[in-house]
Amino acid sequence: MRNKNYKILSIILTVLIFTASLFSQGSISVESKVDRNTILIGDVFQYSVIVTHDPDVKLIMPELAANLGMFEIRDYKNIEPQKTDGKIVAQTNYFLSTFDTGEFKIPELQIGYSTVTDTTIKFIKTEPLKISVQSLNPEDAGDIRDIKIPLVPPWDYTQYIKLVLIIILIIAVAFLLIYYIKRRKAGKALLPTRQKPPRPAHEVALEALETLVQSDLLVSGEIKEYYIQISDIIREYIENRFFIYAPEMTTTQLLEKMEQEKLEKLYIDMTREFLDSCDLVKFAKYIPEEKETDIITGLAFDFVNQSKLVIAEPEEPETAASIQDDEPKTLAEEAEQNLVTEEKIEKGEDG
């Protein structure tokens, strides 16, 4: 009797466990559909997979590279899951296309899922769907036909003339735009204007030297800055006077360039003495005495004054009167002048 009761109890427990396992699997269903069953070759159509499941079901949707037969996945979009009647509705839209004609099937897709209580992955499948792919030109269906002779359209010179005029106009506008941008960057007006001639290089340099001397750099102890500025003034003067790009050259390079240009030896020696003294202060941290600074400043003024370009004014032509006075007189003119002189003397004696 006791064994019989034990068997009945075992059967009841087994049924309860089986029933609980069924309930723990959760409820899930799948639906697949397309927005149209007939398409043209190359068309993109929508293939939707809709899964309805309980909240405790976790979905594993197929990857984007899933096998869809003759169809290619161009794109896809996951719709935000919606909750309806205690169920969750998840939808994924695939955008498919193909470049073959005929009757094709979208094969079934396997969708994996599991539950909170049962992590074993199970699968549910969609139903295959038929799609008819038609040619763009139904008349060309069947055997491959020969290539048709290309048609040559008649020449329309009007269109070509218009095209040439448009190209010329575009080039002209581009040229004017580039011209305008260049002048704007250079700070010039759109139309060229008459400008004053540039000031002589020595005037600019002497004015800059006077301004530097009148500054308070030496008084405030900024000796290095003073030497930097006076060096830059002389280098800019050399560039404007001798057309040598001195500001970007080292002292050695500048002296070599001046020798190549065959400048006067006096100018080269003065430049060497001046720049060597400046370089000691600028780069060697040498602190000169006040007397040395005065000498270097005077050397800068002397260099500009001695090497400045002076245009000599043309000499005025001599007048006719002066030329006649300087010319030697003829014998007749001298005799006549002597006779007039004697007459004056005689009249004076008679008186």
* Domain spans in the chain, listed from the N-terminal domain onward: 27-136, 157-188, 201-307
Tell me the average pLDDT across 59-78.
Answer: 77
The C-alpha atoms of residue 75 and residue 94 are separated, in whole angstroms, by 6
Question: pLDDT tens for residues 280-310?
Answer: 999 988 999 999 999 999 999 999 999 988 7
Question: pLDDT tens for residues 253-271?
Answer: 999 999 999 999 999 999 9
Confidence band for 162, pLDDT divided at 50, 70 and 90: confident
Lowest-confidence region among 61-65, 82-86, 91-95? 61-65
Q: Write down the pLDDT at residue 90.
A: 87
- In percent, how much of the chain has pLDDT > 90? 31
Q: Which CATH class is domain 27-136?
A: mainly beta
Most trustworthy range by pLDDT among 49-58, 188-197, 223-232: 223-232
Question: pLDDT tens for residues 137-159?
Answer: 755 555 556 676 777 767 667 87
